Amino acid sequence: MKILFAASEVAPFSKAGGLSDVVGSLPKALEKGVNEKAEIAIFTPLHGCIDLKKWNIKELENSEIWITFGSSPQKFKLFMTKLPDTNINVFFVQNDWYFSCFQEVYPKWLDTRYEHERYVAFSLATLEYAKQLNFKADIIHSNDWHTAMIPLYIKANYKFDEFWANTKNVFEIHNLAYQGIWFEDILDFANMRKDIVFNEWGCEHYGHVNWMKGAINYADKVVVVSPKYAEEILGSEFGEGMDYTLRGHKDKITGILNGIDYDVFNPKTDKSLVKNFDIKTLKNKEENKRAILKEFGLEYNPERPLIALISRLVDQKGLDLIREVENDLKHLNADFIFLGSGDKNYENLFIWLSNNTPNIRTYIGYRGDLANLIYAGSDFFLMPSKFEPCGLSQLIAMRYGSLPIVRATGGLENTVVGYPLNDSTGFKFWGYDGWAMKDAICCALEVYKDKYTFNAMRESAMKADFSWKESAKKYLDMYRSLL
């Protein structure tokens, strides 16, 4: 079995969100679970922020190709390295005009048309390079709208190409809110025949091109990153205007939980921590709490819990609930540390809270080492999401012994066992309002006083298995069912 992954970001080379963690760890788990004849290849853009020397990324000989989009020829080159600790080839598609010129995976303030051109170019170059390498994939696994063009290219431009005749397309939705919508002239740039793809059974959606809709229609299987989210998106509340199309393809939609790489997120070996720990040495976790509080200028008190939030600062993450109860939070017997970046309104809110409250501190931006220390040092982890396809932060938090406080939606509902159930691993609230969130926080603070219950929940959280092992089996079964 040959499996080709295409994604806009891949950890550890490039990272902006959870997509990179999934694409960087799922193939590793699949490699361990498939037979020796199986091959896995990953294609991703060579962003300017990727360190070639650090990851030993080399240009392949005679890899230069030219592809014309509309009337604009573009030059591409191909680079390669191995995914760390695997035998999996990672191929980086290089283009000076679209990718190498930026030091970010998703640069801010890009012209929308230009952003679409970037990923159209990457998707077509991926298919052309796969042919040049003679990597005749049995499965092409595309991710989100950035590579949603691939199933359309396979069904339209390569319809009569014998090289792709037996290839099956799997399209994975990590977040339905971002669908890739633009005017139909982008099809001229992509060299796609409008008479084939621009219709309600293809990528046409209310008079515009919608790449995600096209991928849902043309893919052989659609994967959603949690069973609960797979149910939710079939209705209007979470369907983002795509629920009608999704209900029409209900038979090919499956929900498979994301996992995390337990070799990467391991409090026993993590070099970011002040003191390593595991379930048998939980007392060492307090040293990390002491260190992170000192880092943010807060006083350490073993009887005062620390609540963390690490997130992209966008509407989806439920941050408006914090705005609703900001005055109440500063009077709670707890400290708060927020880390993230995104919407300027939320950045400004968190900066203001950091400067004007005695118990709330903020770091605007992202640092992996600091994030891991926050996971390790916090007692609770707040995720009040409006919707959450899967979520990785709550899985990492549990791995580091930080109990999630979550709104029960999507993957948060699937992964967190709410107090006071047996083997509970966190706290849930259902209503989308600040007072429901505050009630859940207050419940957590009461449990913190009962050290027997709190430690039992912490042990249950750390014992919970959200490694890729079980999820990888489900992916393999899905691939085999298509073949």
Query: Tens of pLDDT along 444-460?
Result: 999 999 999 999 999 99
Q: What's the whole-model pTM score?
A: 0.92
User: 3-state class of 180 per DSSP?
Assistant: coil
Query: Tens of pLDDT along 220-278?
Result: 999 999 999 999 999 999 999 999 999 999 999 999 999 999 988 999 999 999 999 99
Q: Write b or e for each residue in 33-43: b if 16 or more Cβ atoms lie within 10 A of its Cβ, otherwise e.
A: ebeeeebbbbb
Instruction: Using DSSP bridges, classify how beta strands 253-255 and 306-313 pair: parallel, antiparallel or unpaired.
Output: unpaired
Taking the CB of residue 55, how many other CB atoms lie within 10 A of it?
17
Mean of pLDDT values over 297-305: 96
Which pLDDT belongs to residue 35? 53
State the Rg of the chain over Cα.
Answer: 23
Which pLDDT belongs to residue 34? 59
Q: Give start and end residues of each alpha helix (H) in 367-433.
A: 368-377, 393-399, 410-415
Measure the CA–CA gap between 10 and 24, rounded to whole angstroms.
Answer: 5
Query: Tens of pLDDT along 342-393?
Result: 999 999 999 999 999 999 999 999 888 999 999 999 999 999 999 999 999 9
Q: Give start and end residues of each alpha helix (H) in 44-171.
A: 112-132, 149-155
Q: Provide the pLDDT confidence category of residue 296 given band limits of 50, 70 and 90.
A: very high
435 pLDDT higher than 70 = yes
Measure the CA–CA gap between 34 and 477, rounded to whole angstroms.
Answer: 10
